Amino acid sequence: MGGKEGIKDFQIGIITSDADAPNESGQFQAKGKNPKLLRFPTKEMALPKLLNYFVANVIVGSLGSTYEKHLEAMQKSLSPPAINKANKGFLRKDAILALFFLTEEDDCSHNGKVKEEQLSPTVCRIPKGQTAEDGSPGQMHNLIPPKTFITFLRSLQRRMVAYGLIGDPEIRREGSQKWGVIEQDKSCPLTKPCAKSTLDKKYRCIFTSTDKITSKCGGCTDGKDRSASAFPGFRIHEVIKGISGRHQWSSSCEDSEGYEKALIEFAHQIQSRFSQVLLSKVPSSPKDLQVYIIDKLGKKTSISQAQATQERCVHNSHCAPYQICGPKSQCHGNGWVYFPPEGHSRPRIKLSGASRQLAQPETTLQAAYFTK
């Protein structure tokens, strides 16, 4: 998507989590003779035709490798040879790269040392020294670190957004307005079910590191769609955070209405990419920052820091229109909001409220460090 005059067109490519099959491995998929790279608008591609193609192409089925390697497949789709052959023309100058993950499993991209033909894919959730229910030895130590994929994406030097419809990587504590994961030493013993959240979901306690100690509650079962179930997308969430920051996910256990809201939120995130800026360093205090919007004629407009409201949130959709959900899970009014680095993400400034509407594709958002 993109262009200096704004989001005037877009392209869509769909891949699977099978990073091994010769006809997949990051290559765009299509049904029958449908185009694999959907471009809109073109003379041949009216909106009804685009929607028909998209609906057909996105139904990729459930066959293929049982080892779901979402991150490896994503990297292959944006790397040679695929990006120069099967996916040629997808990456365009000045376009925003928007990544959307849809899965009920976490990523299992590994270093090649996992004997897939002998082991169940559940070993991707089990640390070294532990065994899965079928006796397979844990292989978490052989998974490629999420930071590797974040580094790859940043090496593309593009404006990016990332979003996921995944098993819940963050949950809300029982009786609390605070969002966040429940640590093992408090509420996540592996032998007992996780506590329920205020969203009336059931969670799994899952290992999150190779040290056999760190575990977190996540995933989802018994959401609005009672047949839905998903393992927590912890690894995918780390990559999303590294690119777009916190809260850029929705639960894959939602019903069709929840999926629709997630896609709308994804579209909002793409548009909001014009209303945020990555910082070169962590300020000693947010008060040391001065934020401006510069229009196409070079006129600067100073933006003040936004104040938190009383509304709690986990997504921007929980806040009033154009307001954003801040780093402490509070909605914010008009102005800019500072997001400190978390995990592999860089510090950034995002606009909220009426200020968010001022940022357009032809404007520039600038942050400066103020020193007395």
The domain locations on the chain are 10-273, 276-369
* Residues 365 and 275: beta-carbon distance below 8 Å: yes
pLDDT at residue 372 in the model: 57
Is the pLDDT score of 165 beyond 90? yes
Q: What is the pLDDT of residue 271?
A: 79
Tens of pLDDT along 119-151? 999 999 999 988 888 899 999 999 999 999 999
**pTM here?**
0.83
Distance from C-alpha of 333 to C-alpha of 322, rounded to nearest angstrom: 9
Question: Which of 209-213, 234-238, 310-314 is the least confident region?
Answer: 209-213
- The two beta strands, 37-40 and 97-102, are unpaired
In the structure, what pLDDT confidence band is assigned to residue 363 with cuts at 50, 70 and 90? confident
For residue 5, is pLDDT > 50? Answer: no
pLDDT at residue 79 tops 90: yes
For residue 28, CA distances in Å to 31, 47, 242 come to 11, 20, 24
Distance CA 315, CA 170 (A): 12
Quote the pLDDT of residue 278.
84
- Beta strands 308-312 and 330-332, pairing class: antiparallel
pLDDT-derived band of residue 205, with 50, 70 and 90 as boundaries? confident
* Averaged pLDDT, 100-106: 95
Cβ-based neighbours of 332, under 8 Å, separated by 6 or more: 306, 307, 308, 309, 319, 323, 324, 325, 326, 352, 353
Whether 367 has a pLDDT exceeding 80, the answer reads yes
* pLDDT of amino acid 195: 61
Number of DSSP helices (H) and strands (E) in the chain, helices first: 7, 18
Q: Where is average pLDDT lowest: 1-15, 219-233, 278-292?
A: 1-15
What letter represents residue 228's amino acid?
Answer: A
Contact status, residue 163 vs residue 269, Cβ threshold 8 Å: yes
**Whole-number mean pLDDT of the chain?**
86
Place of tokens 């100073």: 302
d(CA 352, CA 183): 31
Give the Cα separation of 217 and 180 in Å (integer).
10
Please write the tens of the pLDDT for every residue from 234-265.
999 999 999 987 678 988 988 888 889 889 88
More confidently predicted of 257 and 109: 109
Q: Whose structure tokens read 């079962």?
A: 221
How many other CB atoms are there within 10 angstroms of residue 165's CB atom? Answer: 22
Give the length of the chain.
Answer: 372
Q: What is the pLDDT of residue 159?
A: 86
- Secondary structure E strands in 2-65: 10-13, 37-40
Most confident among 122-136, 180-194, 240-254, 358-372 (mean pLDDT): 122-136
- How far apart CA 331 and CA 352 sit, in angstroms, is 9
